[in-house]
Structure 1
Amino acid sequence: MKSFASGARFLGTGFAVLLRSPKHLLLGAVPALLSAVLLLGCLGTLIYFSPDLVSWLTPFADGWAEFARQALRVLLAIALVGAVGLLGVLSFIALTLLIGGPFYETIAEHAEEQLELDTSGDGAGFTRQLARGIRDSIKLLAIALPGAILLFLIGLIPVAGQIAALVLGALFGAWVISLEMVGLVFGRRGLPFGERHRRLREHRAMVLGFGLPAYLLCLVPVLQLVVIPAAVVGGTMLAHRVLDTRKGVVAPRYSGG
């Protein structure tokens, strides 16, 4: 529980750092706004056409009794929108970080200076870092898509499946968001994508403490504009924590637990 609370404090510190620097808060909100407009438009279109879509997916139910046919299609629509919503949140964060890469690098460096964290890297130039970011975003979406499909199938189970899909979706989303948010520090140090999984698995409670509130807050459309840059700062702290813990060094000026 202490580690979970420590992870949550990283996100809280992210908000505190940005509220003391409105310039960086605004800088981080711009890419999030662009991504939100694009993906919310896609999600809204899906919700609008979902009745037609589920009817097209279930032609075999046309001859069923009215109640059974409508129950099946409502259940399918809920599961479909839920799974796409999860994928949309994770895609939104990946797209936002990709669009706003240089902005978020600036925010992360600002946070590191404020918290006196190590800013060293492997010396890779902008082009190489951009290529890493694109590659990592593709890998993250490759993880998110099968997860969303699995949760969609779980959500087809009446009542129990829908509750399980909500809980598992939140935990899965928390983990993927954490993977995304530590990417700036790991990428700057030249650490491969798989290394993120390995290091974060050693601190599961802390990772969920950070990722779970970040994921849930990202479900609120307008709040996303503030949550993303705050999560970048919190993810920077989380990345330093798991890396410094690994090396037996306690990072200065914060006690992440």
Structure 2
Amino acid sequence: MRDLGAGFKYLVEGQRWVARHGRQYGFALLPGLIALVLYVAALVALAIWGEGVVTWATPFADHWSSPWDTLFRGFLTAVLFALGLLLAVLTFTAVTLVIGQPFYDNLSERVDASESPDGTAPQSTLPFWRELWLSARDSVRILIRATVWGVLLFALGLLPFVGQTVIPVLGFFVTGFFLAEELTSIPLQRRGLDLRTRLTLLRSRRLLVWGYGTPLGLAFLVPFVAVFLMPGAVAGATLLARDLLGEESGPESGSTEPEPATQEQTTDR
């Protein structure tokens, strides 16, 4: 159970790190604001047209007596919106990271450099376009996994009692795991770890990952909170990644922002 507390500590420490580095925080807010506008528009559209979609998908209920047809379709509309909200939480991080790849990669490097005893950060050997492609591709693969889990949880949520008690809790843990994977992909991908290796690494310490990702997933349910927590979440994920890899950390040197070490990037591996 110690790992649960350690994971939450990294979440808090990440927010504290960006609070001490205001310039990095300000730039890192932009991708989240862009993604927020897109998701709000999608959820509003779902709220407006969701009932019509449910009515179209359930023609068999047209002949039901009132109020059973209204109650049934109202329930399905609510579940559809809840599923959309869950998918929004699961995918918000992935979309924001793709939009803000340069911002977050720079932020993660600075966190790495501030924690490294020699003041340097691991550097990717891939060109920017290749990094962006890998990030987008892996995000789609994670989205597919998250969608499968979302559909499964949606189906299980229809079960009496279990669907209203156990399944929501399970959903938050699933959300937390995928959030942690998306955020730690920034520092881990810079170290050359592919998606399969990253997933294996996270599964080896699930309690640590849940301690970090589950509270973050709960916080992301609050409107606008995700935008303001995102920079600190990236910083905390970098600290989490260092723990997962067993990397030595040193005290941050003063209040100045360390410049990450630069390295000539090659064209590909």
Please say whether Structure 1 and Structure 2 have the same fold, judged by a TM-score greater than 0.5: yes
AA aligned to 1:87 is L
AA aligned to 1:28 is A
Any residues of structure 2 matched to 1:1-257 within 5 Å, and which? Answer: 1-116=1-116, 119-244=121-246, 249-253=247-251
State the TM-score, normalizing by the size of structure 2. Answer: 0.88
- CA drift at 1:46: 0.1
Distance (whole Å) between structure 2 residues aligned to residue 13 and residue 185 of structure 1:
16
AA aligned to 1:227 is L
Write out per-residue CA displacement over residues 194-218 of structure 1, whole angstroms, 9 at most, x where no aligned residue: 1111111111111000001111111
Q: Secondary structure at the match of 1:200?
A: helix
Distance (whole Å) between structure 2 residues aligned to residue 175 and residue 18 of structure 1:
23
* Count of residue correspondences: 250
Unaligned runs of 5+ in 1: none
Mapped contact 2:110–2:121 kept (Cα < 8 A): no
Question: Which stretch of structure 1 is more off in the superposition, 157-166 or 130-139?
Answer: 157-166
AA aligned to 2:56 is W
Mapped contact 2:112–2:122 kept (Cα < 8 A): no
- CA drift at 1:30: 0.5
Distance (whole Å) between structure 2 residues aligned to residue 241 and residue 94 of structure 1:
22
Q: Secondary structure at the match of 1:182?
A: helix
Distance (whole Å) between structure 2 residues aligned to residue 146 and residue 66 of structure 1:
34
Distance (whole Å) between structure 1 residues aligned to residue 179 and residue 108 of structure 2:
16
| Aligned-residue CA RMSD (Å) | 1.7
Q: Secondary structure at the match of 2:139?
A: helix
The structure with the largest alpha-carbon Rg is 2
Mapped contact 2:8–2:215 kept (Cα < 8 A): yes
Write out per-residue CA displacement over residues 28-52 of structure 1, whole angstroms, 9 at most, x where no aligned residue: 1110000000011101110122221
Write out per-residue CA displacement over residues 73-130 of structure 1, whole angstroms, 9 at most, x where no aligned residue: 1221122111111111222111100000000011111212222266223422212211
Mapped contact 2:114–2:251 kept (Cα < 8 A): no
Mapped contact 1:35–1:95 kept (Cα < 8 A): yes
Distance (whole Å) between structure 2 residues aligned to residue 156 and residue 62 of structure 1:
21
Tell me the percent identity.
32
Question: Which stretch of structure 1 is more off in the superposition, 204-213 or 149-158?
Answer: 149-158
Question: Which stretch of structure 1 is more off in the superposition, 114-123 or 197-206?
Answer: 114-123
Question: Which stretch of structure 1 is more off in the superposition, 197-206 or 57-66?
Answer: 57-66
Mapped contact 1:11–1:210 kept (Cα < 8 A): yes
Distance (whole Å) between structure 2 residues aligned to residue 159 and residue 178 of structure 1:
29
Mapped contact 1:79–1:162 kept (Cα < 8 A): no
AA aligned to 1:173 is T
Greater helix fraction, Structure 1 or Structure 2: 1
> Residues 68, 160 of structure 1: CA spacing in aligned structure 2 closer, same or farther, 3 A cutoff?
farther
